[in-house]
Structure 1
Amino acid sequence: MLKNLSLLLFLFSTIFCNSFAQNSPEEAISKFSEEYPQEKIHLLLNKKSFIAGESIFFKGMIVDGFKPSLISTSLFVELYDKNKKLISRKTVPILLGEALGNIQIAADMKEDVYFLRAYTTWSTNFNENFQWIKAIPIYNEKSAEKLEINKNSEWNVSIQPESGRFLNGINTKVSVRMKSKGILPSTWSGFVVEENNLNLKLAEFKSLDENVATFNITPEIGKKYKLIVQDINGNKKDFDFPITFGSGIQLKVKSETGTITLTPQFHKLEKPSAYYKIVGQINNRLVYIAKLSTLSSGSTYKIPTESLVNGILQLVILNDKNEVLAERLCFVDGEKLNIGKIDIASSGLKTGAKSLNSINIPTKSDFANFTALVADNFAESTEDENSLLSTIFLTGDIGSEISNPAQYFTSSRNLDALDALLISEKWERFNWRDILIGNFPKIMNKPNSYITYTGKASMDGTPVKNTTMNLVFSTKGSGTEFFQSKTDENGIFVLDNLIFEEPFEITYSIDGVVKSKDQNVTVYFQSKVNPAVMRSALPKNSYLLSEKSIDEAPSPEVKRAMQEITFNKNFKEKIALIEEVKIKFSQRDKTDNLNKKLSSPNFKGINETVFDFVNDYKSSQRDILSWLEGRVSGLKITQGSTVSKTGTIRGENFEIFVNENPQDISFVSTLNLSDVAMIKVIKPPFRGRSNSVISIYLKEGINNVGQKGGFPVGMPGLGSKTITGYDKNDPYPFIDYEKTPEQKSISDNRITLYWNPYVQSSTYESGSIKFYNNDVAKSYNITIFGYDYDLEKYVYFHEVVTP
């Protein structure tokens, strides 16, 4: 009995210790960053506000840390009304961390504020505050009510001492943070008084921007303080201070170029610790840790920033029990952002009505593609408020409402204001207390690899177990492709890595079994790419609805937007210059058709460069790889000691396929370039490969595409199902006065002059983008951004340029 009791106590002790075992800070943050990577989602819209009947065009950037995310492959973009009723949804593929599409606004949409939401399947495992949600005003001249900006909404402030608490007798930097349902007052000021002596001002302050102000104060325990704030409009309020503690630790931080200085201060520590740890993380990755046997109040510690990246640095002080004693956020090296710059040459810009303009872009960088938006100088951009940079460096990790966060990453940024803002914030991607005791997020939704379906096969009502299924995919204009997939014990098989817009018809049969009247073979398909219900409330917005008067004219902004719709409609009706029609017989369309004809679904990558030798490239050169070496960035062919050759792309080996069959370089060297129909260079990620693929298609195979075996679609007795893929994107209206000079008589009031969310590298190499001015613009609001894979950083330009 005693032996059994001893064993029971041992088992209980073991279970108890394991269940309450703590991770070290290094282990905890490593596990979080590796197993729970966090995506930041940013959308650029073609305009800031819209008219009923227009389309909202968007470009999505999905970021993992400071680089394009490879976690998710599908983006959901949804439009809600203010009652959180879903109006429209688009599902689009994410290609190398980028996505694009549009949502059509119904012509009878009521004038009101609506909300765009963007998210990935992976992001639904975490706080919804980190999904992209934005209020979008939509106007309609036929509505009985009109939208107005709420300029007189109530505001409140919070009082945030540096690192979280006031300590008796310690001089403390304080952040005053203002928030409102509407527009914040542009400037405000205030002062601090003791409750028992309202006439003596202990500190005064003026707002650094609409969000924050700072001041310093040395609080005393037992005393009560009040904060009095007055805005530019004369509105005045007072607020009570948080209490002052008699013991604890405070962490003072000063972030300067090259160095971050830490000064821990404490007052009457109640529970001395055997040691302390100062831990720093950026983007959920450990970047600094120091173990101190003692903590001296007022001592300084310096962190050199030369090996750190720009971003929010979270610093915490832990005791020997891994309890968080103090926390502070600061920004690393805010003077110099780690982004690539684009030097726009304005020599190609003109201000004449309907003049042809060009923006020359340096070609020395390695863009896979870039995004370009040009509007006239009267237009407001969504980048003005929350830019790609503010998403990457700030709002992608801070879930609270911030007014105009883009201002902290412009050339005129106020770093003191940014620091004050961060004093008022907490890191929300994870909680140290949770991950140190092993409480990590529960993953309910794992990302799929593009369009993914599970199929369940049954015959005569019984699952078809461990059996090969014959599948033929057919799409309009792309021929047919034969595949085989094996079912599991439950008759289930998976189709993934599919990227298509048009509906797919799948004809199926069981391998080796001829379907007859007595054999009922059925396959049910279920999509694994599914949207998620929005559970949190919609964010506050700064708009109000009021009744329109009978003879009330639309605002200048709405009037101009309506003129833009009329212009585009007239232009389309008279000369049919929508991009899709314009390029119908163009070179690009022929190449796209050839690619669709020759490439099977297994050889369609998210980042591919196509060389068309049927319609475009002509060369007297014979050696295929030598020809490619001068055209594919990073491709290097090396002659071996014998006649053999080896090749790499950016230092990594690549795979070669001929007519989608694997081959080696020695075989490709025997081919003549004149026999080639098309070459595709597909960069990773591509169907689970980490290396690039060069796929060569010979002219002799052109007429045999889609005849790779299997059985013809429509054969009697075979079952078939239709599955759907991504939503199709509409082309953006493109205006070309050169081809239709007679249309210059139409009054041109366009707001958006150029929109191209996916300028491919082949276009980029020409060095410029071209657009026509409207009738009035004298300067241009230009936005250009992308990711440079050589520099391994985002490049960004967003400025008003005057020729």
Structure 2
Amino acid sequence: MRKLCFKQGLVVLLFFLSINTSNAQESKRFTHQSLAEKVYLQIDNDVYTTNKTIWFKAILVNAVTHNSKNTSGVLYVDLVNSANRVIESKLVKVVEGIGSGFFELDRSFDEGTYMIRAYTEWNKNFNDDFIFKTFIQVYSEKANTITGTPIQNIRIVDSTESTQKIRADFFPQFLDSDHENKLMIRITEKGGSTDTLYLRPKGKDQFNFEYNIAKNSDIVDLAITTSNGQSFKTRFSTVVNNVDLQFFPEGGKLVRGLTSKVGFKAVNTNGLGVAVEGVILDRSNDTITSFKSNALGMGSILIEAKAIGDAYKAKFKLNSSEVYKEVNLPLVQANGYVMMVEERDQNLIIGISSKSNPSGTISLVGACRGYDYFQQQAQLINGQYIFVIPKYTFPEGVIMLTLIDEMNRPTAERLYFNERLETRIDLDLALDKTNYNKRDAITLSIEAQTQSKRPLLSNVSVLTIDSNLNGENYDNRTTILSHLLLSSDLRGTIETPGAYFRIDEPLTIDYLMLTQGWRNYKYDEDSRKLNFIKENGLRVSGIVNTKNKKDKDRNIDLMLMTLDKERSIYTTAVNVPGNFSIDLEDIYGDYREIALQSAENTKRDKKDLIIAVNKKRAFPPKFEYKNQSLVIDSLTQRVIHQNRDQKLENDTYQFNTYGTTVLDEVVLTGYNMTPKRQEVFDRYGPPDIVIKQEEMKEKEKNWNWGLMSVLYDFFPDKVRVEPDAQGNLIARVIGESTLYIVDGIPVRPDFYNQLQYMSVDEVTSFEILETSKNYARLYIQVNGPGPYIPNFGGIISIYTRRGIGLQGALSSTEDAFDRHKIKVFSKDKEFYVPEYDVTSFYEDSKPDTRLPIFWKSQVKTDVNGKAQITYYHSDDTGPFQIIVEGISESGQIGYQTITYSVKENTN
């Protein structure tokens, strides 16, 4: 524990040394969250089909300084499905705050919304405030036959004191042309329970639904599932034009006799902003002022509060409607303070007003990201005081201004965004030309410098996208600017965060500061204990104990050996009983087997020593995505169609170039058709790949520890074996959703992790059915009915010596392995771009329809701040956009874009 406390103190010391203390004052304060690390992931897209790769770059910085020095060297990146399950996990090596990686999608991924999250072990000290989260949509690479909306015409037909009767029309044939008989309906009321029922058709393909819901259930989720497991879900509101309009006085209160700026925000059922307009009325229904929001439902007004209590209300409507609603403004207080903030001549002007305490003593504290940069005491004169603070007092980002009265009580608070363009990287991009032909070489020159034209050593990413597929709103998505300067400091969701940092017509960020609320500011806890240390690299820790009392206080040399081809060995001294910690060299490959024992490894040590390895506690995922409707907007549809067309074009090329073999009758040469095999053959079809026991025994090495270990090491061309989120080796059919049977008996997901422990001596044959019959039926049998059930997939069929299923095989396996499995760094890979000046005829003739056009996660500028890259364009034509964003060695950040056009070749 003394070691941990020393590290805590060292971290705090390094934190303070990293902050510019030129404006330091005696009573500086920092919050607990100011010691956190921020994580930013740049994702190449947010819409994918199952034949694509998700590319990402990670940037890790200190929460306050945005400097990458002294940050962690290990980052956890998870892909989480909507059922809150970690589907795949990456351990990313971070060097000087920079890392990169990818997730490979395939047909085993269900359609739907996925969350990508990233965090460090150190950030477990700060709950989930500094976990990076973003959401992506995944669609099948194969087109479906939907030609209409499966759920239509939702309406309210009757109402009582406590219930509302709704009706809806269902058209499952738009979702699943093979649907038969009953349709499963799931209806969920907000804050209430979920009801599941089955509906029979009234006529051919006609389903009429009727249901009573609670009167106060203003938001309802409605989902249908067909007989083949295909699902569709939508959300609706039972309230016509259901809009929540709220008002937020600047500083927190409306005070009688004082003028206040009041922010407002209107959101719909899904919590998304909607444009509104209206008027403010007093108690006499006289109009005080009018208001009109921006497209996200936000704006501000000025009100001089003349009466106390429930004095004002808003009468408003949606811009597209003529139906008015009314809502009360916050109560007007008899006493208090009003804070008004504005920017003038590179200064922040903070005006304080009070009628009730015209000569009182006040203090103003200005903090940014949990560290106090400004503190000043003053005395009101005739109930007024104006603080003038140079903007350079604070770094760029969200500032929290707190007014403290003479009783040392916070009495007014306000968030303000301090824009300081001079502190950003000035990224200058230049192309060798602006118009190109298909497959031309494109040369991009990058220059990174300060706003005063001083060169910067920087690490930037380069992403090239098709402008036609991403639309004009691409710059509205999360960028390095919007995340590090805005989103990472505020709780809750910020719509179109990149729009606040656009060069042309940015959204008014002060509306967001007024309405997001200081209660959503993350830096609100005093310093407390730090229980998790920073990870600089791979480390194995644990405890050594003994069964023999005579061994107490005995010193041993503990040896760790990696069970791979390198067989690396590490030793450390341990006083038994005691803790141990061993730092490993960088190892890549997702997981590695290790063995721990005393260096002497005597019979006495084997008998008496107990060696336990600490297991890291993963953050439980919290999948909280507001808009889960499967209705696809036109831009998303465009991306999906383009991906599918490209897949079809590539598949057609492969067929025309290399041909294919179609067997009318399946003939399995040398295949011993046992009764068990015949049963599987008749039910699911013939195997495409057969790996016999003799093959596995021939390959098996002494470091292998079970069936999956052998397949992982020696049969990667036949079966995909990879660790799941818990480190268990799982086999999958390459490119397919996968189910498992052992001796013809289906294996439930709860037992997938046990497959790895099957002995090769017990397994007589490992077989793969790449495309099987009756897959959906087996899927439902194993997993039960669910929202996404694939019609096609692969089956792994394992046959054992005893022939009675998985548990029979395991019971016959002697567990002679005293080994441990640890997670190691995930391998990265390069984004492939053909080089058409040196490629073969095969490359020249192959269609090039890659998306994105180009991705390079790390481009480093030299001492002159310059870098240059060249890549070859694809066969796609039209307008394209290059996005460059990154960070300098000193923590400055930048974002810039440049466009070019590609036309058909004329020769």
The alignment's TM-score, normalised by the length of structure 1, stands at 0.68
> Which of 373, 376, 388 lines up with 2:463 in the alignment?
373
Which residue in the other structure is 1:390 paired with? 482
SS of equivalent to 1:169:
coil
Which residue in the other structure is 1:238 paired with? 326
> Which of 42, 45, 59 lines up with 1:44 in the alignment?
42
Query: Equivalents in 1 of 2:534, 2:585: separation in Å?
Result: 14
Q: CA deviation at 1:420?
A: 1.9
Are 1:457 and 1:521, in contact at CA under 8 Å, matched by a contact in 2?
no
> Which of 881, 896, 899 lines up with 1:781 in the alignment?
881
> Which of 737, 746, 754 lines up with 2:836 in the alignment?
737
Q: Residue by residue, what CA displacement relative to the aligned partner does 1:646-701 show, whole Å, maximum 9, x if unpaired?
A: xxxxxxxxxxxxxxxxxxxxxxxxxxxxxxxxxxxxxxxxxxxxxxxxxxxxxxxx
The answer to whether 1:426 aligns with 2:513 is no
**Residues 329 and 514 from structure 1, CA distance in 2 versus in 1: closer, same or farther, beyond 3 angstroms?**
closer
User: Aligned AA for 2:60?
Assistant: I
Which residue in the other structure is 1:467 paired with? 555
Q: CA deviation at 1:744?
A: 4.1
Q: Residue by residue, what CA displacement relative to the aligned partner does 1:357-414 show, whole Å, maximum 9, x if unpaired?
A: 1211237744363222111212439763121101111111111222111111121254
Q: CA deviation at 1:225?
A: 1.9
User: Aligned AA for 1:220?
Assistant: K
> Which of 248, 256, 264 lines up with 2:352 in the alignment?
264
Query: Equivalents in 2 of 1:519, 1:168: separation in Å?
Result: 80
Which residue in the other structure is 2:812 paired with? none
The 5-angstrom pairing of residues 580-599 of structure 1 reads none
**Residues 276 and 575 from structure 1, CA distance in 2 versus in 1: closer, same or farther, beyond 3 angstroms?**
farther
> Which of 412, 420, 423 lines up with 1:338 in the alignment?
423
**Residues 282 and 571 from structure 1, CA distance in 2 versus in 1: closer, same or farther, beyond 3 angstroms?**
farther
Query: Equivalents in 2 of 1:175, 1:282: separation in Å?
Result: 22
**Residues 571 and 204 from structure 1, CA distance in 2 versus in 1: closer, same or farther, beyond 3 angstroms?**
farther
Query: Equivalents in 1 of 2:122, 2:653: separation in Å?
Result: 42
The answer to whether 1:229 aligns with 2:228 is no
Query: Equivalents in 2 of 1:546, 1:63: separation in Å?
Result: 37
Are 1:76 and 1:531, in contact at CA under 8 Å, matched by a contact in 2?
no
Query: Equivalents in 2 of 1:84, 1:100: separation in Å?
Result: 24
Which residue in the other structure is 2:13 paired with? none
Q: Residue by residue, what CA displacement relative to the aligned partner does 1:633-654 show, whole Å, maximum 9, x if unpaired?
A: xxxxxxxxxxxxxxxxxxxxxx
Which residue in the other structure is 1:30 paired with? 29
Instruction: Judge which range, 142-151 or 737-746, deviates more.
Output: 142-151
Which residue in the other structure is 2:731 paired with? none
Query: Equivalents in 2 of 1:293, 1:547: separation in Å?
Result: 58
Which residue in the other structure is 1:347 paired with? 432
SS of equivalent to 1:557:
helix
The answer to whether 1:526 aligns with 2:524 is no
Which residue in the other structure is 1:563 paired with? 645
SS of equivalent to 1:487:
strand
User: Aligned AA for 1:243?
Assistant: L
Q: CA deviation at 1:85?
A: 3.2
SS of equivalent to 1:277:
strand
The answer to whether 1:172 aligns with 2:272 is no
Which residue in the other structure is 1:677 paired with? none
SS of equivalent to 2:432:
helix
Query: Equivalents in 2 of 1:288, 1:38: separation in Å?
Result: 21
SS of equivalent to 1:561:
helix
Are 2:860 and 2:867, in contact at CA under 8 Å, matched by a contact in 1?
no
**Residues 526 and 573 from structure 1, CA distance in 2 versus in 1: closer, same or farther, beyond 3 angstroms?**
farther
**Residues 404 and 519 from structure 1, CA distance in 2 versus in 1: closer, same or farther, beyond 3 angstroms?**
closer
Are 2:37 and 2:60, in contact at CA under 8 Å, matched by a contact in 1?
yes
Are 2:248 and 2:515, in contact at CA under 8 Å, matched by a contact in 1?
yes
Are 2:570 and 2:582, in contact at CA under 8 Å, matched by a contact in 1?
no
The answer to whether 1:250 aligns with 2:331 is no
User: Aligned AA for 2:45?
Assistant: K
Which residue in the other structure is 2:697 paired with? none
The answer to whether 1:501 aligns with 2:500 is no
The answer to whether 1:726 aligns with 2:825 is yes
Are 1:84 and 1:538, in contact at CA under 8 Å, matched by a contact in 2?
no
The answer to whether 1:360 aligns with 2:445 is yes
Q: CA deviation at 1:194?
A: 2.5
The 5-angstrom pairing of residues 82-161 of structure 1 reads 82-140=82-140, 141-142=143-144, 144=230, 154-161=242-249
Which residue in the other structure is 2:79 paired with? 79
User: Aligned AA for 2:443?
Assistant: S
User: Aligned AA for 1:361?
Assistant: I
Q: CA deviation at 1:279?
A: 0.8
The 5-angstrom pairing of residues 48-63 of structure 1 reads 48-63=46-61
Are 1:377 and 1:780, in contact at CA under 8 Å, matched by a contact in 2?
yes
The answer to whether 1:196 aligns with 2:284 is yes
Query: Equivalents in 1 of 2:117, 2:431: separation in Å?
Result: 36
Query: Equivalents in 1 of 2:554, 2:494: separation in Å?
Result: 55
The answer to whether 1:793 aligns with 2:892 is yes
Q: CA RMSD in A?
A: 4.0
Q: CA deviation at 1:353?
A: 1.7
User: Aligned AA for 2:123?
Assistant: S
Which residue in the other structure is 2:301 paired with? 215
Query: Equivalents in 2 of 1:264, 1:121: separation in Å?
Result: 43
Are 2:395 and 2:418, in contact at CA under 8 Å, matched by a contact in 1?
yes
**Between the two proteins, what is the percent identity of the paired residues?**
17
Are 1:280 and 1:315, in contact at CA under 8 Å, matched by a contact in 2?
yes
Instruction: Judge which range, 734-743 or 458-467, deviates more.
Output: 458-467
> Which of 282, 286, 292 lines up with 2:372 in the alignment?
286
Are 2:39 and 2:60, in contact at CA under 8 Å, matched by a contact in 1?
yes
Are 2:261 and 2:303, in contact at CA under 8 Å, matched by a contact in 1?
yes
Which residue in the other structure is 1:449 paired with? 536
Query: Equivalents in 1 of 2:235, 2:657: separation in Å?
Result: 38
SS of equivalent to 1:563:
helix
The 5-angstrom pairing of residues 361-760 of structure 1 reads 361-362=446-447, 365-367=455-457, 369-380=459-470, 384-414=476-506, 417-427=508-518, 440-441=527-528, 443-457=530-544, 465=553, 467-469=555-557, 471=559, 473-474=561-562, 479=566, 481-496=568-583, 498-502=585-589, 503-504=591-592, 506=594, 510-511=598-599, 513=600, 515-516=602-603, 520=607, 524=611, 526-527=613-614, 529-534=616-621, 538-541=624-627, 543-545=628-630, 555-566=637-648, 723-738=822-837, 739-740=839-840, 742-759=842-859
Q: CA deviation at 1:430?
A: 6.8
Query: Equivalents in 1 of 2:850, 2:57: separation in Å?
Result: 20
The alignment's TM-score, normalised by the length of structure 2, stands at 0.61
Q: CA deviation at 1:257?
A: 4.5
Are 2:267 and 2:273, in contact at CA under 8 Å, matched by a contact in 1?
no
Query: Equivalents in 2 of 1:182, 1:153: separation in Å?
Result: 12
Q: CA deviation at 1:170?
A: 1.3
Are 1:455 and 1:523, in contact at CA under 8 Å, matched by a contact in 2?
no
Q: CA deviation at 1:293?
A: 4.1
Query: Equivalents in 2 of 1:95, 1:67: separation in Å?
Result: 13
Are 1:53 and 1:108, in contact at CA under 8 Å, matched by a contact in 2?
no
Q: CA deviation at 1:573?
A: 10
User: Aligned AA for 1:40?
Assistant: K
Are 1:385 and 1:405, in contact at CA under 8 Å, matched by a contact in 2?
yes
**Residues 263 and 466 from structure 1, CA distance in 2 versus in 1: closer, same or farther, beyond 3 angstroms?**
farther
Q: Residue by residue, what CA displacement relative to the aligned partner does 1:686-725 show, whole Å, maximum 9, x if unpaired?
A: xxxxxxxxxxxxxxxxxxxxxxxxxxxxxxx998755431
Query: Equivalents in 2 of 1:250, 1:766: separation in Å?
Result: 50
Are 2:49 and 2:139, in contact at CA under 8 Å, matched by a contact in 1?
yes
Are 1:195 and 1:225, in contact at CA under 8 Å, matched by a contact in 2?
yes
Query: Equivalents in 1 of 2:83, 2:487: separation in Å?
Result: 25
